[in-house]
Amino acid sequence: MSAPPTATASRKARRDAVYAPARNWGPGFFVKLIVMALIDAIGVYGIYTAWTVRSMPIVTVMIVLVVVANVVYFSRRMVPAKYILPGMIFLFIFQLYVMVYTAYVAFTNYGQGHMIDRNDAISRMQGNSSRLDADGPTYQLTLLARGDDIYFGVVVDGTAKAGTADVPLTEIAGAKVADGKIASAPDYTVMSSADIIARQSDVTSMRVPVSEEPADGSLGTSNAMSAGVYQPILVYDQATETLTDQETGTVYRDNGRGSFRSDDGAAPPNDIGWRTGVGFSNFAKLFTDASVARPFGSVLLWTVAFAFLSVATTFLLGLFLAVVFNAPRLKGQKLYRVLLILPYAFPGFMSALLWRAMLNTQFGVVNQTLLGGAGIQWLQDPWLAKLSVLFVNLWLGYPYMFLVCTGSLQSIPGDMMESARVDGASPWRQFRSITLPLLFISVAPLLISSFAFNFNNFNLIFMLTGGGPTHGTDPTKPGSTDILISMVYRVAGVDNGNPDYGLATALSIIIFVLVGAIAAWSFRQTRKLEEMA
């Protein structure tokens, strides 16, 4: 008689039964192998791309994700992780990374003139401010083309080299040289006279680095036939971390805010800044800089008023219609309900554009047809524009509240209403003491989410009024109907080409904190309603 299996042997048998499919080298294994090979290829490409732009945090994260994915999907002991990992990766990339990066940008000067790193800014300033070295060598120039890019081709110490504005001179393998000039080169096309004339401005303004070191200068040409060496006017000293103007002797130092400045505050020629940390200065600017703080306060008040009034008006109208069309004796309820939710069936941005046309002062249907040719400036007057925004949002939002309230009313037990009628309660008393409290318990979370949505209702503001009417001619200043999220859009400078992403993201974080605080307070009040019920 054989001995009974030990506890360890039993656990091993169960584990083998669970992971037996992982040892099966059938078609499923090879499908997994192909899929993982594709994922690894994409991951390696992402790592290479991030490496070329010197983004080491992204390189590190990509390597970790690729390694973890391979360990999980080729392991026999991580069956639950095989299902959890994809969701975790997407959560990390599309949620956590975006949140962390947004928070990071809020503490930097990232914006117009400060979008690159420090080393790139120094290289560009040196490359953009240069002068011809009269004592330097002169090379016979061959203009080469590869795709849409122009290359300077020269012979340096008997070696054919070519480079473009972004690529320093590099040796060309297999190039043919005649009389000290490149005659042809593999993978390159020698530009004809007609092509050179057509792109003359690009050729004469082009500077090709001689090497990776900016101090070695760059090649430039004025006649497309010969190229001379241009030496940078600004020379960077690594030891002192200063830029020195070789013509004037002025020394420029890092001012700690992403720029080089002289002792008297002057900027260097062709000044270019870089992205750097600025601490809480963006947040401080929202409350201390008069040009930002003054409109921020007024926009904040209007945003809260707009979100509250939008929720209140849409809820009251939706509730009224839900009560009216929930009457049991009313005939044609389904038809009426379909007609009432029609505004909800159209895309919101299209409806806003249609209302913008209808409210046009000169050609709109509202003025010309309904009001007999009146010249009311619905979208040009600050207060009328606010009323127009609230009205259009009411038209867009009441169907949602109507549907929500209808569903909530139908879920209220009928015996409660019957008991109230037997006790002699009037219809108003029934509505106030039974219907409304029970309705609020189910609807309150939706009202909170609706408030948060309208707090950030960018589409309506942008499509209907564009935030206007604006104050003055400065496009970065908020208009009468701008809410905080559209103010972020203005501050970001997408339209005017002068973005300030650091300030815009700081404002976005303020919005997040405000909405979160209001939502937390509202949910606490909702729990009180549930306890009372």
Of 106, 124, 146, the domain-final residue: 106
- Asked, for residue 123, whether it belongs to a domain, the answer is no
What's the pLDDT score for residue 135? 85
Q: Which helix (H) or strand (E) holds 155?
A: strand 149-156
What's the pLDDT score for residue 152? 95
Average pLDDT for 243-264: 92
Shared-domain flag, residues 470 and 515: yes
Shared-domain flag, residues 401 and 462: yes
The answer to whether the peptide bond before residue 499 is cis (omega within 30 degrees of 0) is no
What's the pLDDT score for residue 473? 59
How far is the C-alpha of 203 from the C-alpha of 510, rounded, in Å?
A: 48
Shared-domain flag, residues 391 and 478: yes
Other beta carbons less than 10 A from residue 461's beta carbon: 25
- Asked, for residue 161, whether it belongs to a domain, the answer is yes
Tens of pLDDT, residues 218-233: 899 989 999 999 988 8
What's the pLDDT score for residue 311? 95
Quickly list H helices, 20-171. 27-52, 56-73, 79-91, 97-106, 118-128
Query: How many domains are contained in the chain?
Result: 3
pLDDT reading at 20 higher than 60: no
- Band (pLDDT 50/70/90 cuts) for residue 425 is confident
pLDDT reading at 22 higher than 50: no
- Asked, for residue 55, whether it belongs to a domain, the answer is yes
Average pLDDT for 137-156: 93
Q: At what angle do helices 348-358 and 382-411 cross, to 10 degrees?
A: 140
The 8-class DSSP code of residue 265 comes to S
Tens of pLDDT, residues 47-82: 998 888 777 888 898 899 999 999 998 887 888 888
Q: Which residue, among 269, 163, 152, 165, has the nearest Cα to 207 in the 3D structure?
A: 165
Of 70, 90, 106, the domain-final residue: 106
The CATH number assigned to the domain holding 218 equals: 2.40.430
- Record the tokens describing residue 75, joined without a space: 């392991």
How far is the C-alpha of 82 from the C-alpha of 92, rounded, in Å?
A: 16
User: Could you give the percent of the chain with pLDDT greater than 70?
Assistant: 92
Shared-domain flag, residues 181 and 233: yes
Tens of pLDDT, residues 201-213: 889 989 899 988 8
- Asked, for residue 259, whether it belongs to a domain, the answer is no
pLDDT reading at 11 higher than 80: no
Q: Which residue, among 92, 165, 184, 484, has the nearest Cα to 307 in the 3D structure?
A: 484
Shared-domain flag, residues 347 and 381: yes
- Asked, for residue 156, whether it belongs to a domain, the answer is yes
Tens of pLDDT, residues 276-292: 999 999 999 888 888 78
What's the pLDDT score for residue 533? 53
Shared-domain flag, residues 407 and 324: yes
- Band (pLDDT 50/70/90 cuts) for residue 185 is very high
Shared-domain flag, residues 339 and 487: yes
3-state secondary structure of 162: strand
Among 11-15, 278-282, 449-453, name the one with the lowest average pLDDT: 11-15
- Asked, for residue 253, whether it belongs to a domain, the answer is no
Shared-domain flag, residues 175 and 75: no
Tens of pLDDT, residues 96-127: 888 898 999 999 999 988 998 898 898 888 87
Shared-domain flag, residues 93 and 137: no
Find the domain containing 211 and state its range: 132-241
Give the torsion sign (CA, 339, 345, 349, 354). negative
- Asked, for residue 3, whether it belongs to a domain, the answer is no
How far is the C-alpha of 453 from the C-alpha of 458, rounded, in Å?
A: 9
The CATH number assigned to the domain holding 453 equals: 1.10.3720.10
Of 48, 71, 106, the domain-final residue: 106
Tens of pLDDT, residues 367-377: 999 998 889 99
The 8-class DSSP code of residue 343 comes to H
318's CB contacts (< 8 A; 6+ apart) are 397, 398, 399, 400, 401, 402, 403, 404, 405
Shared-domain flag, residues 98 and 179: no
pLDDT reading at 391 higher than 90: yes
What's the pLDDT score for residue 295? 87
- Record the tokens describing residue 369, joined without a space: 């047809």
Quickly list H helices, 76-208. 79-91, 97-106, 118-128, 193-198, 200-205
Stronger pLDDT, 9 or 525, i.e. the higher one: 525
Shared-domain flag, residues 76 and 164: no
- Asked, for residue 380, whether it belongs to a domain, the answer is yes
Among 13-17, 378-382, 442-446, name the one with the lowest average pLDDT: 13-17
HSE-up of residue 272 (Cα within 13 Å, Cβ side):
17
Shared-domain flag, residues 224 and 157: yes
